[in-house]
Amino acid sequence: MGKKVALTGNEAAAHAIRQINPDVVAAFPITPSTPIPQNVAQFIADGKMDTELVTVESEHSAMSACVGAAAAGGRVMTATSANGYALMWEILYIASGSRLPIVMAVAARALSAPLNIHGDHSDIMGGRDTGWIQLVAENSQETYDNLIQAIKIAENKDVMTPALGAFDGFNISHAIEIWELEDDNKVKEFVGEYTPLYPLLNTKEPVTHGAWAPPDWYFEHKMNQLEGLLNAKDVVVKVGKEFGSAFGREYGLYEAYKMDDAEYVIVAMGSVCGTTKDVVDSLRENGVKAGLLKVRLFRPFPYKELADALSSAKAIAVLDRVSPAGAQGGALFTEIRSALYDANNRPPVINYTYGLGGRDTQPQHINSVYDKLKTIAETGKVDKQFDCLNLRGTWG
């Protein structure tokens, strides 16, 4: 039987890594994910896992070591945040292009400048097109559960694609919550043994990794890679069901919170969903048909399923914890809006940026979004497609 523990999100990630007991962890410390490799190092020192911990001089080297170890045939994990994730950039593409199912915990954080070590989604949203599977957690429990599932998703023969399990820096990484830590043996059994496809260390069948693909080959390889990433969608659902049977918590592509008849809908990812659920609950008590569509899988983006889940909405607000950076809106907004273009129901969709650099998002702010959605649904008019939550001064 699992047991209830009161630990931080970082510790949840570290315990998942301990129980998965990968062959190699190569990591470099960066706030707010530092306690993950720190805890892993402690577990190893205490004899609680026998992973080879490779301490490196940068995140670029961390991901490079992960690529080497994974190409050799190992099960490989790491953790990072923000600028560390950004420094991995080049190698993130090499990991996905080489189809190495590395699993990474990301305590999502703002990118400098200005220098800021607090939570937002600038890192993972910036890296959304690096070819990695991206799962986003709402709390510590999901952080732990997602990493365990990510191993099975990434290593699935039809997928063979690296995956990251993201959770909000500080809001989750450093907050102590009560969550269920499952039995070591049950987790071990759930993730199973890993059989690499073409391990470099198999000298009986020599293989080359990282070879050159000139213009008459590169395109075919990239599309072959894309198919693996797209295959992850069905595997996420399958593994989410298996996880449900094993541990009692089932997962899908998204969580539809009070969405059955919802007219005013917020679409969001991460810890803000917890706050939003509380607001939805109190609005429902007052007879307001509010709902939340929490996106769990961001890459590959399940556009069809998300559009279907929004079929009852009369007005939608998408919350992005990242600057639109010159696009029509945040990354989640543009994807959701595009997904709805082919839907029968095409309600007005507005966008908010919130929580940049650790800015707090409180129930009053979420309430103001639902108020806005009600007005839009009643008047049919959108005065502002893009706005900011809890920003000093009026935007636009």
Partner 1 sequence: MSEKLLNWDEVLIGGAIKDPGNSKSYETGSWRVERPVWNPESCIQCMFCWVYCPDSSILVDENGKMSGIDYDHCKGCGICVEQCPTKPKSLAMLLEADAKGKSEEDLRKEVFSK
Residues in contact with partner 1 by the rule CB under 8 A: 97-100, 160, 197-198, 205-211, 213-214, 216-217, 219-221, 223-225, 227-228
d(CA 254, CA 176): 24
| Sign of the CA dihedral running 67, 68, 69, 72 | positive
Tokens coding 76: 């490989």
Smallest separation, CB 147 to partner 1 (Å): 23
Name the residue nearer to partner 1 (CB basis): 66 or 125. Answer: 66
Task: Give backbone dihedrals phi and psi of 129, rounded to 5 degrees, phi first.
Answer: -105, 25
Tokens coding 316: 């939608």
**Rounded (10°) CA dihedral 139, 4, 102, 241:** -80
Tokens coding 203: 């000298």
d(CA 210, CA 96): 11
Smallest separation, CB 223 to partner 1 (Å): 4
Smallest separation, CB 224 to partner 1 (Å): 5
Name the residue nearer to partner 1 (CB basis): 219 or 395. Answer: 219
Smallest separation, CB 62 to partner 1 (Å): 20
Name the residue nearer to partner 1 (CB basis): 185 or 208. Answer: 208
Q: What is the DSSP string of 18-59?
A: HHH--SEEEE---TTTTHHHHHHHHHHHTTS---EEEE-SSH
Q: Which residue is associated with the tokens 């059994």? A: 189
Smallest separation, CB 47 to partner 1 (Å): 35
Name the residue nearer to partner 1 (CB basis): 208 or 344. Answer: 208
Smallest separation, CB 219 to partner 1 (Å): 7
Name the residue nearer to partner 1 (CB basis): 227 or 383. Answer: 227
220 C-beta neighbours (distance < 10 Å), count: 10
Smallest separation, CB 269 to partner 1 (Å): 29
Name the residue nearer to partner 1 (CB basis): 71 or 187. Answer: 71
Name the residue nearer to partner 1 (CB basis): 45 or 213. Answer: 213
Residues 6+ apart with CB under 8 A from 2: 180, 181, 182, 183, 186, 247
Residues 6+ apart with CB under 8 A from 3: 180, 181
Smallest separation, CB 98 to partner 1 (Å): 4
Smallest separation, CB 237 to partner 1 (Å): 22
**Rounded (10°) CA dihedral 265, 268, 271, 276:** -10
Name the residue nearer to partner 1 (CB basis): 139 or 161. Answer: 161
Name the residue nearer to partner 1 (CB basis): 100 or 293. Answer: 100
Smallest separation, CB 129 to partner 1 (Å): 18
Residues 6+ apart with CB under 8 A from 321: 108, 119, 120, 121, 125, 168, 269, 270, 272, 330, 353, 354, 355, 356
Q: What is the DSSP string of 328-380?
A: SS-HHHHHHHHHHTTSS----EEEEE--GGG----HHHHHHHHHHHHHHHHH-
Name the residue nearer to partner 1 (CB basis): 125 or 160. Answer: 160
Determine the 3-state secondary structure of 388 from DSSP: strand
